[in-house]
Amino acid sequence: MAKKLEINRRLILKGAGFSVALPFLEAMLPFSRPSLAADATTPRYLNFFMPNGCIVGDWKPGQAWLSPLNSLNGKYSVIQGLQNDVIAEKTTGEHCHGVSSFLTGKPLRSGNNIFNAKSADQYIADYLYNKTKQSGKRILNIARQGQGSNEDGFSGVYTGSLSWQSANSVAQKYTSTSAAFNFLFDGVPRGEQRGEDKKITNIEKEKIKTASLSRLDFIKDSLVNLKKNLSHTDKIRMDEYESSIRDLERKIANTPTDEVIPGDIIRNCPAGASPPSSNNDLTSYTKVMMDIIALALQCNQTQVVTYLMYPSFKGGSENYGGRSLGHHNLSHYQNESNKRDLRHIYKWYIGNIAYLMNKLDSVQEAGGSILDNSFLIFGAGLGDGSLLRSLGGHRMIELPILLAGGGAGTLTPNKHYKFQGESLGNFHYTCMKKIGLTASNFNGYQKTLNF
């Protein structure tokens, strides 16, 4: 099997280079293969965010637009009645909160100094990364766009960021398919073979390691003088930089010589040198991202994925499965035809989720399929946006949430949970506990929900 894979990669390295995204990914790693997860029951935590909320009453099993999930019955639960306490009442900056506090449960600060809290995915990523001592990536954070629009004095940073590393620091994110791919699979310059193919001896590896460490020594030394001549705030930047250099130094020093390859730590997954390409239109972009996510999970390159599938509060029309529609405008629907278009968009989202779920369910590992070992959350951070009803305008109540996967044995899918205004924060807290985190609360939320 391994040999066959290698031939595939060589072929691609040699000739194609610009093959279409999907055939390439599938050729690289047929999904009949078992996953490369080291640990028998490594849970995966996957978050998919849809902007602009959902028509009230629409979020329940049996709706036609949920039909892409039909073949996956028994693999997911529909959750109703969660709310984000931050804006359960009408206030300002709803879209900002809808995105940025979706995984934090915290109110945001308006003005120039952004302020939120560390998000659930980041807590879980830290926990799983430390627990499994992975050589892969701690988290893959994807967003369709870098920044969104400002709203009511709240920064556009909020409408474009789900994942927060700390209160004032947005997590590193990838917006292009090729950048995400290279981040996960350590793309090397085109046309070159990957380090592990070169059969580097341990003597050479040791040499590479020593050279890396000397370089970092030079940088640390030169920072001493550089910092003397910097203004106060610039110096703070350089302190951060310096401490990251020290972390890197420690990591390289602790890497066993065997595992050293030029530029980075070795990977065991046969991903190649040529990143996938996609048109930038929303439909093909999303599909390629889903392929990348599936491959990354199968290759155990990461265990946590956060994906802001579209920025909230963005005007303009996009390609939703061949139709040109503007989600935000439509979300303030005023009549039946708006609702039909909105449901077309919902179905498009669900179709993408189902596409990924099917892929993950086809890969077997200890304890079932990858899907069985996953917490796959799909949801929106806002409620109904209708202009026709006085309660409309996107309060953060009645949030549509889909919880798919078996949670490595901790979830019982195929349910329909109806909560009565429980906090989204408590939902996250419960997931965190099921994954194994032992904190007594999550950003102040400490109630365990029954699911």
Partner 1 sequence: MFKKIFAILLLIFCYQNCGEFRSSSYESTTNEFSSAPLIEKNCTDTTGNLPKIELSILNKDEYNNTVNDLFGVKTNPADNLPTPVTGHYDTNNSKVKFNLEQIELYHKLSTQVSAEALRINPNLFNCTSNLSEKNCADFQIKKLGKKVFRKELANSEHSGLLKLYEDGRNKNNESHKEAMANVLTALLTAPQFLYKIVTSKSNSNLDRLDSFELATRLSYFIWSSTPDDRLLDLATSGELKKAETLSNEVKRMLKDTRSKSLAKRFFYQWLEMDKFEDLFFDQATQPLFTARLKSDLMKETLTFFEKLIENNAPVRDIILANYSYLNSNLTKHYKINDHGSNSFIKTALSKDRKGVISHGSLLAKTSHAKETSIILRGVMVLNEFLCQNIPPPPDTPMDENPDVVDTKVGRAEHRASVRECSICHKSIDPIGFGLESYSQLGVFRTSENNKPITTIGKLRDGSSFSTISELSESIAANKYFSKCFSKNLTAYAIGRDINNFDRCFIDNSSIIIEQNKGISELIIQIVQSPLFQTRTK
Contact (CB, 8 A) for 161 and 314: no
Residues 272-311 that bind partner 1 (CB under 8 A): 275, 280-282
> Which residue of 43, 383, 392, 406 would you call a contact of partner 1, by CB under 8 A?
392
Q: How many CA within 13 A on the CB side of residue 300?
A: 22
Given the DSSP bridges, would you call strands 264-265 and 304-308 parallel, antiparallel or unpaired?
A: unpaired
Q: How far is the CB of 31 from partner 1 (least distance, A)?
A: 26
> Which residue of 3, 111, 258, 438 would you call a contact of partner 1, by CB under 8 A?
111
Contact (CB, 8 A) for 265 and 259: yes
CB closer to partner 1 out of 18 and 241: 241
CB closer to partner 1 out of 54 and 431: 54
> Which residue of 51, 136, 379, 385 would you call a contact of partner 1, by CB under 8 A?
385
CB closer to partner 1 out of 64 and 203: 203
Count of residues engaged in binding partner 1, rule: CB under 8 A:
99
Output DSSP code: residue 137.
Answer: B
CB closer to partner 1 out of 93 and 406: 93
Phi-psi region of 276 (alpha: psi -120 to 50; beta: other; left: phi over 0): beta
Burial grade of 221 (CB within 10 A; 0-12, 13-18, 19 or more): exposed
Does 433 engage in binding with partner 1 (CB under 8 A)?
A: no
Residues 13-52 that bind partner 1 (CB under 8 A): none
DSSP string for 416-429: EEEEEEEEHHHHHH
Contact (CB, 8 A) for 282 and 311: no
Q: Tell me the H-state helices in 12-155.
A: 21-28, 94-100, 120-132
Amino acid at 16: A
Contacts of 89 (CB under 8 A, 6+ apart): 395
Give the whole-angstrom CA distance, residue 433 versus residue 338. Answer: 40
> Which residue of 27, 72, 88, 226 would you call a contact of partner 1, by CB under 8 A?
226
CB closer to partner 1 out of 72 and 223: 223
CB closer to partner 1 out of 246 and 418: 246
Does 337 engage in binding with partner 1 (CB under 8 A)?
A: yes
Span from 23-31, 188-196, 292-300, 366-374 in contact with partner 1 (CB under 8 A): 188-196
Residue in the block written with tokens 């302190």: 239
Give the whole-angstrom CA distance, residue 251 versus residue 255. Answer: 6
Note the residue count of the chain.
451
CA distances from 386 to 3, 179, 351 (A): 57, 37, 24
Does 187 engage in binding with partner 1 (CB under 8 A)?
A: yes
Does 196 engage in binding with partner 1 (CB under 8 A)?
A: no
Does 81 engage in binding with partner 1 (CB under 8 A)?
A: no
Residues 150-169 that bind partner 1 (CB under 8 A): 150-153, 157, 160-161, 165, 169
> Which residue of 32, 70, 254, 390 would you call a contact of partner 1, by CB under 8 A?
390
CB closer to partner 1 out of 35 and 283: 283
CA distances from 416 to 53, 79, 423, 427 (A): 19, 6, 17, 15
Does 254 engage in binding with partner 1 (CB under 8 A)?
A: no
Does 202 engage in binding with partner 1 (CB under 8 A)?
A: no
Residues 314-333 that bind partner 1 (CB under 8 A): 315-319, 322-324, 326, 329-330, 332
C-alpha dihedral sign at 193, 194, 197, 199: positive
Does 103 engage in binding with partner 1 (CB under 8 A)?
A: no
Print the binding letters for residues 231-250 with partner 1: x by CB under 8 A, - otherwise. xxxx--xx-xx-xxx-xx--
Residues 338-377 that bind partner 1 (CB under 8 A): 338
Does 133 engage in binding with partner 1 (CB under 8 A)?
A: no
Does 218 engage in binding with partner 1 (CB under 8 A)?
A: yes
Q: Which stretches does DSSP call E strand in 176-289?
A: 260-261, 264-265
